[in-house]
């Protein structure tokens, strides 16, 4: 039976550390501030954004939740972003996805100041990551949270064979970049990949981020491998499951993240951590 990579406990411990840092900054007169923009009334998005909003408040940060109607124009959203770019009390800005069809997510993302881009989606930040540039810059929260979780369990990357299934800008691409930068040999696979399951079985570390329930099961996993399941799928019974069949996979893997309680809690804890880091970095830049 695999070691369970406990995201819930690791996230709680990260949140404790984040609160200490946030309080320290507040005592210095610089309370970390995060702003979340939500467009429309998608129920899942409402839950996510309100969770982020409440968590930030709980950790002692300034938290602003801006809810815009479904009918808002792209220019109006960008106008809100611009105001937050200028606002000295806000260090982190995120726009909850998905956005309505009449709004181009890339244009909105690109309008966030790179130094406040807490999701790490701005091309300047993604390019610094992929180009392995030195210095401080935000990185997408789910991938960064995965790295924290691996570190917590002393799972190293150098020389390991990593297979990442799913090539999204939110998860697959940045997690591949982070692992390349830690000297892993990384294969980025997707729906066009031939013999996907045979490829998965070559991985020392397998990251699955596709949104396809139970895409990977025990027989597709190298014995002893580390399995990171980024999927969050809600079954007909209302239960959450990942992209990996936990029951069979946990018999073969050496370590595995559960769903829920694995990567999920790390994402929001990393969002909080990175809000504090952006605040610290803004001070170092003399802003």
Binding site for its own copies (CB under 8 A): 106, 121-134, 158-159, 161, 167, 169, 173, 176-177, 180, 183-190, 192-194, 199
Distance CA(229)–CA(245), nearest Å, equals 9
Residue 167, annotated ligand binder?
yes
Residue 232, annotated ligand binder?
yes
- Exactly one of 21, 52, 160, 204 is catalytic; name it: 52
Nearer to its own copies, 88 or 194 (CB): 194
Nearer to its own copies, 182 or 251 (CB): 182
Quote the least distance from Cβ 174 to its own copies, whole Å: 9
Closest to 216 (Cα-Cα) out of 173, 179, 202, 187: 202
Residue 132, annotated ligand binder?
no
- Exactly one of 55, 117, 119, 204 is catalytic; name it: 119
Distance CA(31)–CA(59), nearest Å, equals 11
31: annotated active-site residue: no
Residue 262, annotated ligand binder?
no
Closest to 264 (Cα-Cα) out of 241, 235, 232: 232
Quote the least distance from Cβ 64 to its own copies, whole Å: 26
Contacts of 24 (CB under 8 A, 6+ apart): none
Quote the least distance from Cβ 218 to its own copies, whole Å: 23
Tokens of 122: 């701005």
Q: What sign does the dihedral 185-170-227-262 (CA atoms) show?
A: positive
119: annotated active-site residue: yes
Residue 182 has a CB neighbour count (10 Å cut-off) of 17
- Exactly one of 96, 128, 160, 201 is catalytic; name it: 96
| Residues carrying an active site annotation | 52, 96, 119
């Amino acid at each position: 039976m695999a070691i369970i990579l406990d995201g819930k406990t690791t996230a709680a411990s990260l949140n404790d550390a984040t609160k200490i840092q946030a309080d320290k900054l507040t005592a210095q007169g610089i309370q970390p501030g995060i702003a979340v923009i939500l467009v429309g009334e998608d129920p899942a998005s409402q839950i996510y954004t309100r969770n982020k909003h409440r968590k930030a408040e709980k950790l002692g940060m300034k938290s602003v939740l801006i809810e815009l109607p479904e009918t808002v124009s792209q220019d109006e959203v960008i106008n809100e972003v611009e105001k937050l770019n200028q606002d000295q009390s806000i260090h982190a800005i995120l726009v909850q996805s998905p956005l309505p069809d009449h709004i181009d997510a890339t244009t909105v993302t690109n309008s966030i100041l790179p130094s406040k881009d807490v999701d790490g989606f701005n091309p300047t930040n993604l390019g610094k990551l992929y180009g392995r540039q030195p210095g401080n810059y935000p990185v997408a929260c789910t991938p960064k949270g995965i790295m924290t979780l691996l570190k917590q369990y002393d799972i190293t990357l150098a020389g390991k064979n990593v297979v990442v299934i799913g090539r999204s800008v939110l998860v697959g691409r940045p997690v591949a970049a982070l692992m390349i930068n830690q000297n892993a040999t990384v294969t980025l696979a997707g729906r066009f990949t031939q013999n996907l399951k045979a490829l998965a079985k070559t991985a020392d570390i397998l990251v699955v981020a596709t949104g396809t329930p139970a895409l990977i099961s025990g027989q597709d996993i190298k014995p002893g491998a580390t399995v990171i399941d980024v999927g969050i799928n809600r079954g007909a019974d209302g239960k959450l499951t990942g992209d990996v069949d936990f029951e069979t996979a946990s018999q073969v893997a050496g370590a595995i993240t559960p769903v829920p309680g694995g990567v999920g809690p790390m994402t929001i804890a990393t969002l909080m951590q990175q809000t504090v880091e952006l605040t610290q970095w803004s001070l170092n830049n003399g802003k």
